[in-house]
Structure 1
Amino acid sequence: MNHPVQGTDPKTQRRAVIAATLGNVLEIYDFIIFGIFAVAISKTFFPSGDEYAALMFTFMTFAAGFVVRPIGALVLGQYADKVGRKKALSFTLILMAIGTVIPALCPSYDSIGIAATVILVFGRLLQGFSAGGEIGSNVAMLVENASSRNRALFCSFQQMAQGGGVLLGGIVGYVIAVVYGQERMLQDYWRLAFFVGLVIGPVGWYIRRVLPETPEFERSKKKESVDSFLEGVKANFGRILIGIAIMIFWTVATQVSNYFTTYAVRELHMPVASTYLGQISSGLTLLAICPLVGMLADRIGPYKPMAFGAALAGVLAYPLFKMLVATPTLPTLLLVQIAISVTLGLYAACAPLVMSDIFPTRYRATGIGTSYALGVMIFGGLTPMIVTTLIQISGDKLIIGLYLTAAALLSLALIGALVRMQRKPVPA
């Protein structure tokens, strides 16, 4: 395992955590609101007449953002490993801001036809490229500013920030739905959510101007240069595969949680405002549980909480969705989303630390970003489209529970293999 660099002063640690976490909250918010407002986007940018087809095209566009994530992870990860975490984080935020303004301003399909769809897809690709490079740099920034006593806690802020992004998306969606009503929100007022996301520009400037580079990166840069692209992939191929395996339950549970807004409205015919309250409850749960799990993992190690979270999801996922389908009320929706968020928090609060310890410092941002991006692309980005298609074909609304159960059990088995695996020490 890597040995954390000691001597990072508490003030610098706090600044690093605040800057990296706040930036990640806004990055995640900008990326997930596309999924949260999928129904509204499908009505705006795709031909009307076939609701299922329009929704599927929207989810294909949603998935496109995940397809380019590995490219962003490789390009921007190499950039972060060569020039530093801080510059890479600033650049990803600026790219995300540009990608976010496109759906906020782009005319509808009824106004400019297929050009609207093309412009929307371009904006989503830009968001995906940015997000691909952000995760690796963000985790590297957090872990490299931590001491040996709080590495798991610092890494847990990555998932806590994702919860913050979900919370912000839920609050914005709920306010828009309540103030303007469901019908007006589905027309054009959903765009307000994307304008809210544009505040990431100043945050990018703050990170670039204020935050120092991590001591561990500076020491590693002095010792050894970054491998070339092919050398890096060859030397770390096995570690990347392990990182992808770690991502399975993490990304599927995340996307299932984000899919609730579509699932509750389309399949359970619940009011759209209720679904945003569900997102708020999910975000609050992650904000509360992730730091607690991080502190626990600093005492007992990260594998036990991860395994418990995956096992809990494997047992509870199907019964939870069965209860929700049988009783599609707001209290039931909140209970189900909170329960799934607890299992996700147990797992995902620890996963960044496990992934960061797999890779050497000089390849950490690239390795984490590539593993994360490939895992999300393969197992997460297609989740809304797969679940929607399976429900459409089978008519079984509980398939989503089986899908989440399968992901949890697969990750649980892989965690067991990881614990038993004898890994060589990772060089610094």
Structure 2
Amino acid sequence: MRERLELVDAARLVVKVGSSSLTASDGTLDEEALDALVDALAEKRRTGTEIVLVTSGAVAAGLGPLRLVGRSRIVADSQAAASVGMGLLIARYTAAFGRHELPVGQILLTSEDTVRRGRYRNAARTFERLLAHGAVPIVNENDALVTAELRFGDNDRLAALVAQLVRADALLLFTDVDALYDGPPSRPGTKPISVVDSIDELEGVEVSGRGSAFGTGGMVTKLQSADMATSSGIPVVLTSTSNVRAALAGEDVGTWFRPTRKRASRLQVWLEHAAQGRGRLVLDAGAVRAIVRGTASLLPAGIVGVEGDFGPGEPVELVDEEGTVVARGIVAFDSSELPDMLGRSTRELRERLGDRFEREVVHRDDLALVAPVGREQGS
């Protein structure tokens, strides 16, 4: 497939590898598998392609040294295993990439690092400097400290957010199955799906189940990750780690997820996929239509309610009168100022309150739809 050849000359790729691909059956780190992965990535790096690696395996790698059998239901045990395992994992990656004279930089993230715009920008700068200095950023969720309410949910979702953050040319998801199938791979008669134009077309495909005994994901989270990436203009390859070299060479392996939208700005991507609204603006039907059609900024005349406590420059959710979120945006006014502005034209506000009120509440350039019309947003 010609479009896969884009990977041959890609400037920047995000690669995600799952726990099942890096750990043995007893939960210890499979150093041979890790070395094989690194050798393939280093070979691609020598062609000039920048690589960002999102890796699972920290918790699994820490189970053996702590003599834990399988994932514990006690959160503190998993955090302790992650603390031990992260050191083992990054040390092994450092040695493996070091054989190819490639330095690595560890980046541990929590969702708090992406929902706050300041931290999001700081993370972007860190990635850019590491890549500029020839390093391979190695990314994992900060499992040693993260609490349930701050989790990404799985490194598949984290990988999609990182791909958007670094403006990757493609996202490659490597796992223990060679492709997405039209049913459970173990069921006789099921077939691999070579190309997916839209996640919507998979509605009838039976996809369920968790990942390996030492992982937290599964095919569901990988499809959610693919949805997030492709809706930001980033193609996705899903295949097994045994196909790493073939996938990086643009060969027809695994499943190729085509982008469903054009590239969005970092701000729009952050608003759609990562930002946490500090409040809500309730819109009338006319304002909702204008926002969804992408034709207008949000003016005071279209707002019927204000919820929450926020200041200018903070993200807010734009909802219809039923409470359904249709967009997120950067608000230009304090929540205390808006109630006196509701339903009024900008001209009327200028005459009544002054020149600075003759402007948009949320400018079109500072706004992103949460999901395309007619399709639910992937989590």
TM-score (norm 2): 0.27
Pick the structure with more helix per residue: 1
Pick the structure with more strand per residue: 2
Q: Which structure has more RCO (C-alpha within 8 Å, separation ≥ 6)?
A: 1
- Report which of the two structures shows the higher radius of gyration computed on alpha carbons: 2
